[in-house]
Amino acid sequence: MKLGIVGLPNVGKSTLFNAITKAGAESANYPFCTIEPNVGVVSVPDKRLDVLRDMYDSKKIVHTAIEFYDIAGLVRGASKGEGLGNQFLSHIREVAAIVHVVRCFEDENVVHVDGKIGPLDDIETINIELILSDAELLERRIAKTIKQAKADKSALAELEILERVKKVLEDGVSARTMELTPEERDFVKSLNLLSFKPVIYCANVSEDDVASSSENTLVKQVRDFAASENAEVVVICGKIEQEIAELDDEDRQGFLEELGLKESGLEQLIHSSYHLLDLISFLTAGPQEVRAWTIRRGTKAPQAGGKIHSDIERGFIRAETIAFEDLKTLGTMSAAKDLGKVRLEGKDYTVQDGDVILFRFNV
């Protein structure tokens, strides 16, 4: 899973990236200090793996991972090449979802590219550049489809959808807000439009506001706008996240409690990412390792097995399955089998989040 961190210059993108990946990306108080996207791989926290490791006395834990791309700050005119914009926009096309960092703090020592703090203006600047870039791509696709339709009338249905998307973009609205059938949605997704990518708005607040963000009027503006797009919102403080990143697990938990927080901004961001992209994790366990595997919600057992190895999908026989909570309660797999809690699932079984699975296959 690849997530692209975007936003105007100096809103805290690289600070956030540094904190969540500990990758040490350059972060400076001037625009375009990031040109090529920095890439960081982050392990997804999953306490269920610790329980399984103790249960199986496993040698190691393997977490599933997310790739974060720190994409340089976009500015007004990016779609026309302003501020190396075309290069940065092409980087966004490579990611599955966008983490749009929005500045919701005042600090006279950190310059704002537009000279004032205004989350809605900042969001509009980025979204309009994505929309303009999409509109240019769509014009070319429509011209191509019109030519196809002269010889193949079936292309007229595709042309109708393209024209609807074009109308939405011309109204200055992101394509992700459109009401589409599942088939139409799949087609529009195949166009790889920037404004169709799912988005998480990441409100970057000051240290004083992180525990009382609901009272921050700038954050409220972001929440209200995100609601109009059915988008997710995560409130973080980039500076605090950097401090958390330097602590061990025990000190980290104590620090969060002092701040009145249940989890770090990174954990909130990961949970929102999974929800946004409709992802879940199933688990495998044994003496060698315990591991989490990420799949899309609704994946059938053979295809889930295919995430581990193509031979499992090809030669799938059955999946010996138990819900993690049941296994945790009963303490051992043998106890679970004795009580009939381990299920034998076939090819039509839809894997659930937290399923602990042993795949049986033959090739």
**pLDDT at residue 326 is higher than 60:** yes
- Give the Cβ contact number of residue 328 at 10 Å: 16
DSSP-based three-state secondary structure for 62: strand
- Assess contact for 351 and 307: CB atoms under 8 A: no
Residues 209-249 pLDDT 10s: 776 666 788 999 999 999 988 888 999 888 888 888 888 87
Return the CATH fold of 2-276: Rossmann fold (3.40.50)
Q: What is the largest CA-CA distance in the chain?
A: 68
Q: Measure the CA angle with vertex 269, ends 268 and 271; round to 5°.
A: 65
Distance CA 233, CA 7 (A): 14
Instruction: Point out the annotated binding site.
Output: 10-15
Model confidence at 86: pLDDT above 80: no
| pTM exceeds 0.85 | no
Q: Which residues are annotated as a binding site for ATP?
A: 10-15
For residue 43, the cross-strand partners are 65
What is the average pLDDT value for the chain, to the nearest integer?
Answer: 85
Contact 69, 2 (CB under 8 A): yes
**In terms of Cα–Cα distance, which of 168, 163, 170, 135 is closest to 149?**
163
Please count the other Cβ atoms lying within 10 Å of the Cβ belonging to residue 236: 25
Q: How far apart are CA 63 and CA 327, in angstroms?
A: 19
In the structure, what pLDDT confidence band is assigned to residue 21 with cuts at 50, 70 and 90? confident
Residue 83, pLDDT above cutoff 50 = no
Where are the strands (E) in the chain, listed by range? 2-6, 38-43, 60-62, 65-70, 97-103, 199-204, 232-236, 279-285, 289-296, 316-323, 343-345, 355-361
Q: CATH top-level class for 298-361?
A: alpha beta
Q: Domain coordinates of the chain in residue numbers?
A: 2-276, 298-361
- Greatest mean pLDDT among 75-89, 250-264, 286-300 lies in 286-300
